[in-house]
Structure 1
Amino acid sequence: MGLIRFLFIKKKCLVHTAFGNERYYSAASKLSAHGISCDVVRKSNISMMDMAFGGGGQNAVPFAKNAEINNAQYDFYVTKEDEHLAQRALR
């Protein structure tokens, strides 16, 4: 799956990176409102060390999920033809 995504994303350009769900939804709604289709790649910034310091045991799971949601990185890719429109829409 990663190889297929790489081949398709390779032909697109990165126009925006958002951190956290709130900024993701903001950017996605701006692009959608301007009719710009995009591909989004989500990267999690949480490590196993962060989970270990979440209180241990069952308390670590909610902490880890909350940290993952708030610190996830979202990369927005659009076609080269839409790059200028996307930059304008995201201002």
Structure 2
Amino acid sequence: MNRILWMGIGVAVGVIAFRKITQAQTALGPEGMNRAVGRLADSVYDFADAVRTGMRDRESELRSALGVDDVAAPARDALRR
């Protein structure tokens, strides 16, 4: 009875170890790296987009607080060219 118990535990540990190794190989392979890089690029893009939106919102708040109209926008656009 004791041997059967230890054999069952050994089989369970072997199956778990095999599954973990297979998952690690998948994550470290070329496809796994492509997914990781793609997720990182998406995160960076989302962060940059959030920063741009925040900058636009803050600029409009400052303009309204200072009473600056957007009439100066054509002159500002001419300076950017």
Q: Provide TM-score, normalisation by structure 1.
A: 0.24
Structure with the larger RCO, 1 or 2 (CA within 8 Å, 6+ apart): 1
Could you say which structure has the larger radius of gyration?
A: 2
